Structure 1
């Protein structure tokens, strides 16, 4: 089981089935074992098969059923946190490496779409950065100047422009980034998986890794078999093979998205991002007949620190309808989790302290490009021993400039452990209606109690099985979220998302 079992379904999940794959029933031996079958895991496994390696890919749930299925799939090389912030945090040289590598990831996706003739609506288009609703022209121009200057420093192609076709922004100062891209992520990845298996790769679904033994050979134990590999890669959204070294340098955030019908040609096909923090983001997806689909996302918050999904969806809809008054009806709403690192770049490379174990995590809002990039970077580390971008994404890094962010993000754990001393969120399990959950006191312990939408009551320890933080109920997705490191659990306590590998007790 993975987050495909959560309550909401993305627009991609509604029109594309997950590929079928067997459960691991026996022991397997391979050159490289890849754990996690989202964009990162599939890309890594595929690139390694192309390089002649014997590869096994495994996932705790359906293939492609993790956070990748909840993306909005903006293929934008521009840093999610802004190029200005990136240059200030990492310096010009590493920021340039980030830009180059992200562009290479988009180019690689385009190349594979062409090589395999994948029908996934891939297209190149413009990206536009436009002012937040609260900004006056002076503030908007100031932000444009900062981002423009940073883009020039790192080699990103950018142009000053005026206006976007969104109500109230027709004459605003904006930045245009040519040659961005977008596509249908599940259609693309289904085709990549099919070619992976055609070339001898082996993929197993619904086969959670329950124990890890590192050494010259890495042994991954699953419920009904084990995988022995010379190298192992953990591409599980949040890595399940480390306890603190990486998790303390990133934080989980919940983001929301909605899809609406829109008359074709009502809005130019482009990527749109505003300058708010957290920001809103908009794209189109081809429909049938006279209708396309507009996909809008935003209203982010730290995972587990809010349970007001309905209000956030309402705010998201109000925002986009103000900009596109003739927008049609809603077709889907969903949420997903992103892992923001303290210095805005993912952690992709050798797991700290290991020679033959690798991780790909910390998507920082750019999961699709980070995932495709992970395929290129980790392929080179396994096959050649090095890659020109490894310093940009090195998992063992802790830039001094990120120290303030490090302290800020880790206060979440401090505040969370203090909850052991506070009263519970609900007085009694009997007070819960269907779809509700909360934490209650039981002597000196805290219990996570919920009543699922079928009316069945579930009671478990409220301590996350990863490092003991108290989980919080997510009524939108009908699951338990850990605010500290991003683990998620089903109402029955089963793990949906790592780093936890054991369910709630």
Structure 2
């Protein structure tokens, strides 16, 4: 199981191709084993095969079915955390290299789509950054100045962003951004990998990692082993690490709606505003005289909200004020992003390992960070120089991000402390059908879901990754870990890492 089993269905999941892949049924050998068949994992496999390495890719669920299918698939070299803030936190040279990596990622997607003949609706277009009501234009001034400093040429002022329903006032225009259909692109990558001799296995969770002097052994599926010289963990939150990198990033849920507009009635552009949990907008062509308008936003820390219905109401209200052409809302879904404390992803050798590499911490730019990460991982594994690897080194220490580091880890500590507090309900009678809640039973806490027939599904409320208390997600109808982003189905099965094992079944008598 993986996040495709959560309740919501994205536009991409309903309109993209499904790539069938078998379960791992025997031991395998390859130069590189890759865990995770999303944009980062498949891109890394593709790049390694281009330089003569053999690869095996495994995924907990279907190919391309993880968080890469819950994105909005903006392709932006503009930085969602702002380049002027990155310069302040990590320095000018880091910001220059970051911009270069994001621009190169868009170029690489464009090249591969053309070279492999992947019909993924790729298009180059402009991005627009505009002020939310009450925000100071100084923010835009700082950002365009930062772009000039890092060599992001062509960023300019425009009188307004192309938002039909309101006059946004002055905005920044970013050239050479892009958009595509992520499931179509990932299917194209997978076909190319298989065509050239790569092996891909679906519904095959990894259960153990062992690094030796000569290689890495992964245990996966029903106990089968994959022997490789190196391994790449390209999961939303790394499943091989219990502590180190998880202290430097935090999981956030983000929400998306999509619905039809008449083709050509809304400018084809990337658009985002300056709100703290910013709104982001794009189009997806669907034919028959229509485009799909995609609007995201209303982020919150994973496990720290229960008002998802209100968030979708607010998101639709914002969409209709800004885009009156929106006809109906046909899709509502959520995804999870990992927010690093210093704005940049963690791509490279895992803490304490020589042959195990990770990619995580994509923030709101998973598509470009995932592809840039594949180029970094390729070069690290084959021993080539790469100008971006120092920027994304998972072992880096960012002293200027100490405040954010302390804040996120205090938040995590507060969730561990929930083992000492009472439950959310005093009795299972307080849990309505179709809902879940945490109940204290003596010294332990239980995660209890009541299905529509009235049957109770009782599991331990302790996340099997690092021991935090899970929280009920009423929208996706799953258990979310607020510490490191694991998700569990109502039967305890893991939907999203870093947890590897299910929530244990528990006994309870009223």
Distance 1:436 1:188 in 2: 36
Whether 1:44 aligns to 2:41 is no
Say how many residue pairs are matched: 501
Is the 8 Å Cα contact of residues 283 and 295 (structure 1) preserved in structure 2? yes
State how 1:172-211 maps to structure 2 within 5 Å.
172-211=169-208
State how 1:64-463 maps to structure 2 within 5 Å.
64-135=64-135, 139=136, 141-157=137-153, 158-167=155-164, 169-170=166-167, 172-215=169-212, 216-224=214-222, 225-452=224-451, 455-463=454-462
Partner secondary structure for residue 251 of structure 1: strand
Is the 8 Å Cα contact of residues 162 and 170 (structure 1) preserved in structure 2? no
Distance 2:399 2:158 in 1: 36
Deviation at 1:385, TM superposition (A): 4.6
Is the 8 Å Cα contact of residues 130 and 168 (structure 2) preserved in structure 1? no
Deviation at 1:254, TM superposition (A): 0.2
Partner secondary structure for residue 96 of structure 2: helix
TM-score (norm 1): 0.97
C-alpha change, 1:275 and 1:6, in structure 2 (3 Å) is: same
Distance 1:98 1:348 in 2: 13
Deviation digits for residues 299-329 of structure 1 (CA, Å, limit 9, x no counterpart)? 0000000011111111000001011123111
Distance 1:171 1:404 in 2: 33
Deviation at 1:434, TM superposition (A): 2.5
Q: Structure 1 unaligned segments of length 5 or more: list them.
A: none
Distance 2:427 2:247 in 1: 34
Please list every run of at least 4 consecutive aligned residues from structure 1 whose deviation after the TM superposition is greater than 3 angstroms. 452-456
Alignment-derived partner of residue 10 in structure 1: 10
Distance 2:133 2:225 in 1: 54
Deviation at 1:169, TM superposition (A): 4.2
Which shows bigger deviation, 189-198 or 160-169? 160-169
Alignment-derived partner of residue 497 in structure 1: 496
Q: Structure 2 unaligned segments of length 5 or more: list them.
A: 505-510
Is the 8 Å Cα contact of residues 266 and 325 (structure 2) preserved in structure 1? no
Which shows bigger deviation, 65-74 or 379-388? 379-388
Is the 8 Å Cα contact of residues 263 and 290 (structure 1) preserved in structure 2? yes
Deviation at 1:455, TM superposition (A): 4.7
Is the 8 Å Cα contact of residues 44 and 378 (structure 1) preserved in structure 2? yes
Partner secondary structure for residue 330 of structure 2: strand
> What RMSD in Å do the two structures reach over aligned CA positions?
1.2
TM-score (norm 2): 0.96
Distance 1:474 1:229 in 2: 38
Is the 8 Å Cα contact of residues 440 and 446 (structure 1) preserved in structure 2? yes
Deviation digits for residues 411-464 of structure 1 (CA, Å, limit 9, x no counterpart)? 111211221222101122233222211100000110011124565421111010
Partner secondary structure for residue 79 of structure 1: coil
Deviation at 1:297, TM superposition (A): 0.0
C-alpha change, 1:83 and 1:6, in structure 2 (3 Å) is: same
Partner secondary structure for residue 339 of structure 2: strand
Distance 1:64 1:368 in 2: 12
Is the 8 Å Cα contact of residues 144 and 173 (structure 1) preserved in structure 2? no
Deviation digits for residues 100-159 of structure 1 (CA, Å, limit 9, x no counterpart)? 011101100000011011111100000000011333xxx1x2111011111111111310
Deviation at 1:223, TM superposition (A): 3.0
Partner secondary structure for residue 326 of structure 2: coil
Is the 8 Å Cα contact of residues 348 and 357 (structure 2) preserved in structure 1? yes
